[in-house]
Chains A and B, each alone.
Chain A
Amino acid sequence: MVKTGKIQKKHRIERILRYGTIFFILFIFLFPFYWTIATSLKTRVVAWSMPPVFWFKPRFHNYWKVLIERNFLHFIKNSFIVAIGSTALALLIGTPAAFAFTRLKGTTIYKNIFVLILGGYLVPAMVVAVPLYIIASKVGFAGTYFVIILAHTLFNLAFLIWLLRGFFDGIPSDLEEAAILDGCSYFGALVRVILPIATPGLIAGVTLTFILSWNDFLYGLVLTTLDTRTVPVAISQFLTPHAVIWGEITALGTLSVIPVVIFSIILQKWVIRGLTLGAVKY
């Protein structure tokens, strides 16, 4: 009896320690967010006071200023156009390709081409952005949605094929073969039989590619102009060396993060699966 009591006590202490450490770590990783959101809700005087103020009355004037006076909605609109455009294009091209890759597994085509596709995700943005910038300037397409969507589709396509391949792998090929025996074409079988089963994978893919595009900075910095500028580029240009308007910038940061955080909490399982791709076999 005494012994089991001791073990139980040891277990309890261990549990408390574990949870305590986890909460401490979470605090470290989340505090900067609290601080950013708090700053966006403070008046200038409160935000700049030293020592830092932790409790205060929230005010939304920074959001009003950013959204209405500085016309930030324009950049949000641009980011949506680019993210939706490049996600749709990647989905259109990438879904059949991912499917074909799964069914070609083990062939030389598969081995050689798959590496190439993944290159679109790992290639430094500059390698593509500099030539695209020069070519687009020559043809008169510079700064259009078309060019930036084209660029974003590159990493979105690679990522989507990588992700979807995992989902298609789990669908037995008997299914589409049965459909083909019944007179379907390969493409028809893919659309009518495989895609409905792979819907969760498609949702995960769409979400993650949307986030990738929404977060991109370097392609946007090189390839957009004022008319087509995306949110991250707009934020970077608010950040001038002199007279930084922190209240407004933190409001911008908060606004741009909200959709991503909501998505990633709802679809957390898929986000984790997307992040661990390639690292761990599944």
Chain B
Amino acid sequence: MKKRRALVLLLLPALAYIGGVLIYPAIFAGKTSLFKYNFAMPYAMRFVGLANYLNLFRDEFFLISLKNTLFFVVCAVGIELVLGLGIAILLNAELKGRNIIMGLLLIPTIIAPVVVGVVWRFMYNEQFGIIAYFLRKLGFLSVSGAILGSSEIAMQGIIATDIWEWTPFMTVILLSGLSALPFQPFEAAKVDGASPWQIFHYVTLPLLRPVIIIALLLRMAEAVKVFDIIFMLTKGGPGHSTETINLYAYRVNFRYFNIGYGSALVIFLLFLTLVFFFLIFSFSRTEM
């Protein structure tokens, strides 16, 4: 008992911190979301109950941002999974210089997302960007065409950037999952004369399933909150074609200073993240 008390004492500072800087602000945001409250006119604060939340689903811009967010999450994370799995299988062999390869491969994931945005915005630039140049050479882009300036393909450009940034992350997770698999099932399949594709489909995939699901959920929980690269590449434009929930929440809170409605948006985003969070948590408990 004495031991337990001593250990809880060691926990206290962290708990106090979480209480003050996570729980209290979250409750504060929840409370604010029930008010009509503009930071520019703090004295006109008025209790409106759940009106802000009901208005969300009548707000055209919110619905667009919700659609954009879901599109982004599904496309980006889906492609990252496929590519990440492919590269992980490629690297899951006896390789010379594997450490160096991993170190170099990880650079896109480890650097600041803002810099990722700078790098890609420059490459996408319609006048002197190298990607625009090659797309034109190959006939995929008209002479006057733009990538980030076009509401049809700007989102694809952002998704490509995200894929570049996060595929290495997927690779690392899946690779550590692959290298932890027992080798007997693979041996047995080989002895039975299974083709590489059959081995992949009937042995690798089922064995790797828990790791794949965790990797997917981890990435999705992050991708729902995407902000930095879109802020750097398009700021949500052209129009609202690349505006995600987090960007819209930023606009409402810090451009219009409509903190009441903005807080409702933020709480909605929190709700989405929590869904993934509890999925990850319950999953990692049952499967591992």
Spell out A's residues near B (CB within 8 Å). 18-19, 21-22, 25-26, 28-30, 32-33, 35-36, 39, 47-52, 92-94, 96-97, 99-101, 103-104, 107, 109, 113, 115-120, 122-128, 130-132, 134-135, 150-151, 153-154, 157, 161, 185-187, 190, 211, 214-215, 217-218, 221-222, 231-232, 235-236, 239, 246, 249-250, 252-253, 256-257, 260-261, 264-265, 268-269, 271-272, 275-276, 278-281
Contact = CB atoms under 8 A, between A and B. Distances in A.
A267 to B, nearest CB: 10
Contact of A120 (B22, B120, B228): B22
Q: Which of A49, A124, A236 has the most CB of B within 10 A?
A: A124
A237 to B, nearest CB: 10
Given A22-B91, A122-B277, A217-B227, A253 B14 contact: no
Contacts of B55: none
Size class of the contact patch on chain B: 35 or more
B13 A96 contact: yes
Interface in B58-114: 87, 90-91, 93, 95, 99, 101-114
B114 A217 contact: yes
Nearest to A252: B118
Interface in B194-225: 211, 214-215, 218, 221, 225
Given A36-B118, A96-B11, A154-B17, 18 more contacts: A26-B101, A30-B107, A100-B11, A104-B7, A113-B15, A122-B277, A126-B253, A127-B25, A153-B17, A217-B231, A222-B254, A232-B115, A252-B118, A261-B110, A268-B103, A275-B172, A279-B218, A280-B173
B284 interface: yes
Q: Interface of chain B, helix or strand or loop or mixed?
A: helix
Contacts of A97: 10-11, 13-15
B273 interface: yes
B54 interface: no
A239 B93 contact: no
B119 interface: yes
Nearest to B109: A275
20 contacts: A26-B101, A32-B120, A48-B127, A50-B128, A120-B18, A123-B273, A124-B246, A124-B266, A124-B270, A126-B246, A132-B21, A215-B114, A236-B231, A246-B125, A250-B122, A253-B115, A261-B110, A276-B176, A280-B173, A281-B288
Contacts of A187: 6, 10
A63 B2 CA distance: 59
B173 A186 contact: no
A272 B179 CA distance: 14
B10 A127 contact: no
Contacts of A157: 14, 17-18
A70 B89 CA distance: 46
Given A93-B17, A279-B215, A100 B7 contact: yes
Contact of A128 (B21, B118, B246): B21
Interface of B: 3-4, 6-11, 13-15, 17-18, 21-26, 28-29, 32, 39, 87, 90-91, 93, 95, 99, 101-115, 117-123, 125, 127-128, 130, 133, 164, 167-169, 172-173, 176-177, 180, 211, 214-215, 218, 221, 225, 227-228, 231-232, 246, 249-250, 253-254, 259, 262-263, 266-267, 269-270, 273, 276-277, 280-281, 284, 288
Contacts of B250: 126, 218
